[in-house]
Amino acid sequence: MKHLIDTLLPPRPRNFKGKRWLQISLRSLHLVGVAGFSGGILFGVDKSSWIGFLHLCISTGIAYFLLDIYCNAMNLIQLRGAVIFIKLALLGTLYYHPEQANIVLVVILLASLISHAPGDVRYFSLLHGKRMDVRSGAAVCGSAAKQLSRDAKR
């Protein structure tokens, strides 16, 4: 268990050459996907015209989330990570029920609210009941890893 925690929560977030440009590219493609499928659904366009945009939105969103998890998996226990799973579930619903256009607005509102919320909200750990982040480097991450290790032993 300790090895898994050390792998998921390294002392410092992992970094690699080109990471920033990969993030920018994924986010830009994600926004194209959001715009395409949102417009298609909200304006009642045939599903065949916007389904590719939905696939682009979901695939780039998942890729971005996996990149975040690779760098540091802390977001899996934070509110911002939980919101991603909620958005994925809602987007999956749209695949089968595109007439539920209000779901698009809920997903966009959730995304905006969590991304612009104060850090105490975004980085709130559902597991610990308090803010947990790697903002201050190894100390926060290390204490989170120790706490997860203690919780796992219980």
For the four alpha carbons of 55, 39, 113 and 31, in that order, the dihedral sign comes to positive
pLDDT tens column, 104-115: 999 999 999 999
Average of per-residue pLDDT values in the chain? 86
pLDDT computed for residue 19 by the predictor: 93
Selection from 31, 32, 41 nearest residue 95 by Cα: 41
Confidence of residue 9 (pLDDT cuts 50, 70, 90): confident
Q: Evaluate whether 22 touches 67 at the Cβ level (below 8 Å).
A: yes
> Could you report the per-residue pLDDT of 53-97, keeping only the tens digit for each?
999 999 999 999 999 999 888 888 999 999 999 999 999 898 889
pTM > 0.85:
no
Pair 94, 103: CB distance under 8 Å: yes
Predicted confidence (pLDDT) per residue in 97-147, tens digit? 988 899 999 999 999 999 999 999 999 999 889 998 764 443 344 445 555
CB 75 within 8 A of CB 117: no
Strands 124-125 and 130-131: antiparallel
